[in-house]
């Protein structure tokens, strides 16, 4: 990464840039992303983003968001900007309109070869953010035990980018030359970088992970009631109301371990393309999602938008032969194929709303993608974004994922509102970032737990179609929630408690 000196900084400030990145590059080959997170960030309003590709190798880059001074949070139709714990601005209206406008306040200098996430807004859009997009769904009155904001984004202006291949870490701190509270912004940013560099050489404070008493899973949606909801969904499908709908349940359990131990356990037993740990202070989000919601990235032809529908699941085989047999059986299953084709069509339609004419293509169709414990049918749909569209336009066109709602999408969500007893909250929404670079990467918030007030909340859903068996669909939700529950059990048993071989 190119280092910006004082004269270049002054020139960029004169050109009107109000966010200029200063960087420091050093070796980090003796650390892991987790140990670096503990050294640099381990407090409220920080995060760690990691990726495992194909269930077997880490992605090249990991991102650590250092504690943010400013955040945006939305509850129903009210949005607040909070700096250093104080509300400094309030907006009444559609939060997505405010977020789009808020991003225009930053004129950010982006050097060549910067990582695609180089700072910006990072956090989540809960499932109920769809109510900002669809008038038919504009209700926020469902029971909400968790009580987390519908949207929460950290304004990330200090971060660490870990190059897992090169064994290096890039520290990025943005300076605002227009900030009257910091007369010498360049020197202040350099001092921050120096302080962070010293932290890199400090020992790691490993959070306590001694064994604690195991706790039991609690289900507020009784099994009999869930089975009845599935049957009601099947009745709607038989009547021609819709083709498919995702019906979910929430599980919860007392959980008093440090939330980071839950993430440590989850990343070990369920490595995934999107792994994230967000510490928002009064609650934490821990996830290992296999599925992209939408990605917007720069390409030679313009901004490329990608959706990667994932539906159809089988366990990994104990041997290569069994693994291949499971894959062949999955691809031959007519129910799984029909559901997946429907989701490909939904992805094409979503991208088509914002893409240049003739640019939408299915680049991978119904291929098997293997993860640590399961395999899925996956397809890849891409299109080139219209020139006048921004990242919030992309989000509106694709949110929430068809794989978490059903088809037709809007009517399926009306049925979900009827059949599910509680507000979904984060589940089925999206976690990720809106980068200063103009790029965006959002994962579907599945295989994701919320730790708040001594409780762990986990949700999972199953896709209901005409020939669904209610008992099997209930079992599917249990299986999908199992990774988080198992991770919690491991954390309670004590991660650093030495087990006999």
Residues taking part in catalysis: 376, 403, 427, 447, 463
195 SS3 class: helix
The per-residue DSSP string of 224-260 comes to HHHHHHHHHHHHHHHTTS-SEEEEEEEEEEE--S-HH
Q: How many residues does the chain have?
A: 501
Beta-carbon-side half-sphere exposure of residue 50 (alpha carbons within 13 Å)? 25
Contact 218, 252 (CB under 8 A): yes
CA angle (490 as vertex; 486, 494 as ends), nearest 5: 165
E strand spans, 385-465: 406-407, 430-435, 440-444, 448-452, 455-464
Dist CA 298 CA 391 (whole Å): 12
Token readout for 356 is: 């240049």
- Count the neighbouring beta carbons within 10 Å of the beta carbon of residue 20: 25
Dist CA 97 CA 477 (whole Å): 35
CA distances from 445 to 201, 287, 291, 328, 450 (A): 34, 7, 8, 28, 11
């Amino acid at each position: 990464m190119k280092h910006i000196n004082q004269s270049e900084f002054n020139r960029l400030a004169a050109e009107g840039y109000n966010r200029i990145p200063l960087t420091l590059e050093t070796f980090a080959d003796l650390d892991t992303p987790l140990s670096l997170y503990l050294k640099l960030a381990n407090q409220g309003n920080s995060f760690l983003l990691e990726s495992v590709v194909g269930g077997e190798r880490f992605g090249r880059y990991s991102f650590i968001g250092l504690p943010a001074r400013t955040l945006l949070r939305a509850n129903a139709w009210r949005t607040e900007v909070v700096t250093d714990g104080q509300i400094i601005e309030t907006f009444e209206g559609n939060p997505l309109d405010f977020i789009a406008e808020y991003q225009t306040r930053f004129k950010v200098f982006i050097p060549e070869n910067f990582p695609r996430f180089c700072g910006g807004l990072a956090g989540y859009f809960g499932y109920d953010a769809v109510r900002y997009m669809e008038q038919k769904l504009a209700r926020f009155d469902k029971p909400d035990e968790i009580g987390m904001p519908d949207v929460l984004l950290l304004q990330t202006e200090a971060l660490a980018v870990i190059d897992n291949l090169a064994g290096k870490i890039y520290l990025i701190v943005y300076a605002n030359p227009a900030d009257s509270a910091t007369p010498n912004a360049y020197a202040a940013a350099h001092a921050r970088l120096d302080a962070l560099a010293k932290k890199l050489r400090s020992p790691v404070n490993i959070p306590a992970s001694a064994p604690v008493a195991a706790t039991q899973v609690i289900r507020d949606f009784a099994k009999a009631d869930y089975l009845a909801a599935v049957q009601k969904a099947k009745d709607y499908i038989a009547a021609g109301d819709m083709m498919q709908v995702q019906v979910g349940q929430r599980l919860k359990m007392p959980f008093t371990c440090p939330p980071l131990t839950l993430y440590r356990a989850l990343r070990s037993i369920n490595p995934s393309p999107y792994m994230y740990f967000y510490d928002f202070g009064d609650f934490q989000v821990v996830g290992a999602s296999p599925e992209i919601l939408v990605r917007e990235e720069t390409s030679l032809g313009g901004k490329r938008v990608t959706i990667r529908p994932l539906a159809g699941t089988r366990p990994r085989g104990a041997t290569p032969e069994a693994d291949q047999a499971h894959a062949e059986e999955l691809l031959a299953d007519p129910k799984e194929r029909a559901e997946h084709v429907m989701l490909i069509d939904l992805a094409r339609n979503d991208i088509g709303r914002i893409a240049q004419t003739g640019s939408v293509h299915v680049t991978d169709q119904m291929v098997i993608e293997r993860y640590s414990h399961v395999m899925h049918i996956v397809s890849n749909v891409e299109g080139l974004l219209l020139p006048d569209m921004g990242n919030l336009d992309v989000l509106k066109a694709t949110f929430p994922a068809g794989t978490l709602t059903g088809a037709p999408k809007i009517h399926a969500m009306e049925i979900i509102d009827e059949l599910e007893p509680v507000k979904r909250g984060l589940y089925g929404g999206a976690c990720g970032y809106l980068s200063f670079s103009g790029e965006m990467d959002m994962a579907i918030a599945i295989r994701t737990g919320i730790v708040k007030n001594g409780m762990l909340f986990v949700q999972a859903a199953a896709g209901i179609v005409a020939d669904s068996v209610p008992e099997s669909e209930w079992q599917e939700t249990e299986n999908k929630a199992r990774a988080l529950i198992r991770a919690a059990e491991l954390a309670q048993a004590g991660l650093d408690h030495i087990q006999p071989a």
